[in-house]
Amino acid sequence: MTESEPTFDRFFDSMEALADTISESLQAQVTIEDSNHHVIGYSSHQFESDPARISTIIGKRVPNTVIIGLRKKGVMHQLEHAAHPVRIPAVMEVGLGPRLAMCIKHREEILGYIWVVDQGNLAEGYAEEIVKKAAGIAGRYLLKQRGWKTRQDKAFEDFFWKLLTSHYESEQRIRQEAETGSILLPVSYNIAVLESGEDIGGQLAQKLRQMLETYPGQRLVLLTAGHDRLILLFTSLFGADNPEALTAFLHKLLQDISRNEGTLLTAGCSLNYREYTSAAAAYREALAVLELRKLLPYHTRHLLLYEELGFWAYMPAIVESKRSLGRRAPLLRTLREHDGEHKSDFVKTIAVYLSLNGNLKESAAFLHIHTNTLMYRLNKIAELTGHSLKETDYRTSVYLELLSEETAQLNSWFQEGG
């Protein structure tokens, strides 16, 4: 130990005291944050500072612009996947000068961060050792704090599941319990379900909390994870009557999770509600969107919001009704028989043509045939059936028959065709 190095083998009653101790040792400014980038300790020594640190200290939290900028540069990914302190060059686009930083972890769970301003005076090796020791102390402090936070999160999750399962008998009872638990319920809300093909752990849920804090225009209220799903209750500051903004938010969230965490998720989102007795209905709406995306992945690939489902909302019921009949409807019989006898592809042709909104060029390209060949097939289909696809009733009926009776075949064709 050098003369300038204070001992870390003592009790620190606050993260402010720890930050000051690091600062005295390294003669540099220090900031300690929790996993959500809220400041829990910063050194009181007066050195020159950069805009990022000044705004962080003033707001008691790292500004969203700084977090987003660092994630885009890959800095946060590097930091969160390193087991030792990392020297970070300046990112002047967000007002951040050079730093020595370390992610505070417990096993693989991120608890917080230590940032040391690097003015070129941080001795190689020595500074890293100081920060590493400090991270161990901060980790124990944050784990202790997490014990209380975990109990609070558990209470929030219990309340959320009660909402989702219609446990409460009245709006008044819901609001009384929310007030008792210090849960601030917004005027209106949506429920979204994010689903993966594998189990989702608590770490992804925690990352999602962190990520959502950087998104302007929305506030996460409640979050729970179960098996392969994340369930969110959130409120949008851009208003309940703005589906375009809501869709853009969900698309960005899915893209960011995929890019930053390497996890592919699909999503479904409910209508906007004011009454919390409707939370169970909102949950069912979000799940309905996801079920449709599983039923017909290609055809419903752009659907995220329940309010935009249109006739798709009735597809599961139509499919179930047809299955219960145990026989196929006669509308496609002629084409099926012709395909069987002449090895033609009329059912596939009409399915692709209708699925691609009647676009001749796109349909021909998908089928790997010339546009003239496609026109010939469509004319032949009209001759065989006695109906033109220009007839709205026939066109709609055929499309519904294809979606509900040729579901597996449709999915296979469009999976093969990309």
In sequence order, what DSSP letters do the residues of 265-303 get, joined into one string?
-EEEE---BS-GGGHHHHHHHHHHHHHHHHHSTTTTTT-
**Which DSSP category does 10 fall into?**
S
Rounded to an integer, the average pLDDT of 32-50 is: 80
If DSSP codes are grouped into helix, strand and coil, which group holds residue 387?
Answer: coil
Q: What is the DSSP string of 30-92?
A: EEEEETT-BEEEE--------HHHHHHHHHTB--HHHHHHHHHTTHHHHHHT-SS-EEE--BG
CA distance 61 to 42: 11
Which residues make beta-bridge pairs with 88? 99
Tell me what the mean pLDDT of segment 108-128 comes to. Answer: 90
Residue 283 has pLDDT above 90, yes or no: yes
Q: Report d(CA 10, CA 299) in Å as an integer.
A: 63
Pairwise CA distance, residues 52 & 56, whole Å:
6
Structure tokens at 210: 């962190």
* Neighbouring C-beta atoms of residue 388, cutoff 10 Å: 12
Tell me the C-alpha to C-alpha distance, in Å, between residue 193 and each of 157, 269, 365.
15, 6, 35
Residue 189, phi then psi, degrees to nearest 5: -155, 165
CB 99 within 8 A of CB 115: yes
pLDDT in tens, 307-352: 999 999 999 888 888 888 777 878 889 999 999 999 999 999 999 9
Q: Which of 185, 197, 229 lies closest to 294 in space, CA to CA?
A: 197
Tell me the backbone φ, ψ of residue 123, rounded to 5 degrees.
-65, 130
Q: Output DSSP code: residue 403.
A: H
Q: Tell me, what amino acid is at 298?
A: Y
User: What pLDDT sits at residue 397?
Assistant: 93
Tokens of 85: 């302190």
pLDDT at 155: 82
Q: Decide which of 53 and 275 is more confident.
A: 275
Please list, residue by residue across 45-68, b when 16 or more beta carbons sit within 10 angstroms of its beta carbon and e when fewer do: eeeeebebbebbeeeebbbeebbb
Residue 240 has pLDDT above 80, yes or no: no
pLDDT at 1: 43
